[in-house]
Structure 1
Amino acid sequence: MVSNGLALIYHSQYNLELPGHIFPAHKYSHLYNRVKRDPVYASFDILPPKMAEEHDLELVHTKEYLDDLFSYDHTARTMYSELPLNRSIVESFSYGVGGTILATELTNKHSFAFNMGGGYHHSFPDRAEGFCYLNDIAIAIRKSRESFPNRKAVIVDLDLHQGNGNSYIFQYDDNVYTFSMHQGNIYPKKEDSNLDVHLEPGTKDDFYLSSLYESLSRIKKEFDPSIVYYLAGADPYEDDSLGELKISMKGLKERDKIVRKYCEEIGAPCVITLAGGYARDFRDTVEIHFNTIAAFGEK
């Protein structure tokens, strides 16, 4: 593993104003400001990504879907998104994809590369879903194969919701291992991951963390990746407005440390993305995401 610590990626275009919408699309700028106020991380260079190019998006998404998306047309391909569809939205997602592509490139120099956006794990090749128009993780994995054709990747998805888009996209790809640990009785319609852990409502720290540890131990025996993609969703939190898991702030910090330790043990760099987070107190969502940065930034 390379040993140059943590790289941070952010673009102001990640932010959206969605008044009254449950998706807190302004959390990105609040997280950026939280980093800039911190005595440790304020001095870190935060790298801006480029907007993903169409040929990169076509590594995963169909031309028909992209035509609808970039025409801002409400069609059978775009209608399953729960977000508005306009130029600023599409540009925001394109920059988010660019951030995960850049994070992947930076793992050539850094042990950990943190895109302060991304994690759009519900989008499918031919359609939008949930709060996701473009699948940044899948695109970044396919893009990296231009330089590393046989690279093996594991997706560790710890968002509240199953990463159904990634599970579908990589279901026949032996070089990608999909792992999703999520609340089992809620959205979305489930796809088959290589490893799914369906958690019951009310799950607390001890069971959650032991399940994560056991799952990563199993993956170590079954799969040998050269890169890890970690979707560090803030929504398993006990006060999240969309979920019924009861994971404390402390438990989520420990979760992040377990994932970091797994990466260090297998000697693989890690790309981290934010994914979801809908805490009743918006400040909790920002703090959970910041804690993930701190977990991967510690010496």
Structure 2
Amino acid sequence: MGLQDLALIYHSQYNLDLPGHIFPAHKYSHLYNRVKKDPVFASWDILRPERALDHDLELVHTKEYLDDLFGYEHTDRTIYSELPLNQNIVSSFCYGVGGTVMAMELTSKYKFAFNMGGGYHHSFPDRAEGFCYLNDVAIAIKKSKETSENHKALIIDLDLHQGNGNSYIFQYDDNVFTFSMHQGNIYPRKEISNLDVHLEPGIKDDRYLTLLRDSLEKIKASFQPDIVYYLAGADPYEDDSLGELKVSMKGLKERDQMVRSYCTNQNIPCVITLAGGYARDFRDTVEIHFNTIAAFGEI
């Protein structure tokens, strides 16, 4: 029997109580409920990840940083986070990492594995940054290399913000190709990806999708991955509170379908994570994430 199409992964620990914070950390439960109410997906099993192992975290992060993180210490290694630092938040990140590692492992049985969390792409080996304490995608890639040293991974990062943590971590790894398409004139301080596309404010659907299509063609001509990690940020959306891109909800659907087709046409499995999303109407963020699930769950 061939590969099934899509695995969905979720844990209630993904959710955080951050009243008044710009990061909508309760979006995960709302997305889960949206999936369970959908006529197509309601009957699907949603898999539950384990908490990430210490060994796995150490594949990317330094001992000194992890000591500070699990000690809930505000030091020069943790201070650049824009989230509180406490047991519940650190535990949430550990389950988020576990979800992406589980998704990576499930690509042996599924074409697509969707972690309804994760995408913590600003986290560096030795420090937190932004809303990111642990780098789940980098950890999953490093873990896959334990069994296949030459395993080739492509990161397609379509969040509003550059995936600077991943760009830094894999800058000298020829078996990992980092591609980030993001608004160029905002946070974070940029690292160098294998392919960076810096978008101007105000870009709309047609130009955005043309740049994505051209970029994927460039990558296809130069790099043949064994797996794709897609960070499907909802924040390029035209009504996002942190961005100035003008991509519609329809345009983001086409973006997701384009990435799906890229993987399907080359028969490459794909891990999908949520990454960011800060729409002025919170329901839009949830719907954009749901649309990504729908794009990869097409029957």
Pairwise TM-score range, normalised by the shorter structure: over 0.9
**What amino acid is the match of 2:203?**
T
SS at match of 1:177: strand
2:136 alignment counterpart: 136
What do the CA deviations read for 1:163-221 (whole angstroms, capped 9, x no partner)? 00000000000000000000000000000000000000000000000000000000000
Q: How does 1:19-30 map to 2 (within 5 A)?
A: 19-30=19-30
SS at match of 1:228: strand
Are the counterparts in 2 of residues 6 and 110 from structure 1 also a CA contact under 8 Å? yes
User: TM (normalized to structure 2)?
Assistant: 0.99
SS at match of 1:271: strand
- Residue 266 of structure 1 and its aligned partner are, at CA, apart by 1.7
What do the CA deviations read for 1:33-76 (whole angstroms, capped 9, x no partner)? 00000000011110000000111000000000000000000000
Is 1:191 the counterpart of 2:184? The answer is no
SS at match of 1:188: coil
Identity %, equivalent residues: 80
Structure 1: any 5+ residue segments left out of the alignment?
none
Is 1:180 the counterpart of 2:180? The answer is yes
With 21-30 and 146-155 compared, the bigger mean Cα shift is at 146-155
- Paired with 2:291 and 2:267, the residues of 1 have a C-alpha distance of 23
Q: How does 1:54-133 map to 2 (within 5 A)?
A: 54-133=54-133
- Paired with 2:296 and 2:229, the residues of 1 have a C-alpha distance of 13
- Residue 149 of structure 1 and its aligned partner are, at CA, apart by 2.0
- Paired with 2:205 and 2:116, the residues of 1 have a C-alpha distance of 25
Q: How does 1:1-299 map to 2 (within 5 A)?
A: 3-299=3-299
- Paired with 2:174 and 2:146, the residues of 1 have a C-alpha distance of 17
What do the CA deviations read for 1:249-297 (whole angstroms, capped 9, x no partner)? 0000000000000001221100000000000000000000000000000
What do the CA deviations read for 1:88-120 (whole angstroms, capped 9, x no partner)? 000000000000000000000000000000000
- Paired with 2:6 and 2:267, the residues of 1 have a C-alpha distance of 15
- Residue 2 of structure 1 and its aligned partner are, at CA, apart by 5.4
4+ runs deviating over 3 angstroms: none
TM-align CA RMSD: 0.9
Are the counterparts in 2 of residues 228 and 269 from structure 1 also a CA contact under 8 Å? yes
User: TM (normalized to structure 1)?
Assistant: 0.99
- Residue 145 of structure 1 and its aligned partner are, at CA, apart by 1.4
**What amino acid is the match of 1:245?**
L
- Paired with 1:225 and 1:168, the residues of 2 have a C-alpha distance of 19
SS at match of 2:4: coil
- Paired with 1:76 and 1:55, the residues of 2 have a C-alpha distance of 23
- Paired with 2:155 and 2:293, the residues of 1 have a C-alpha distance of 18
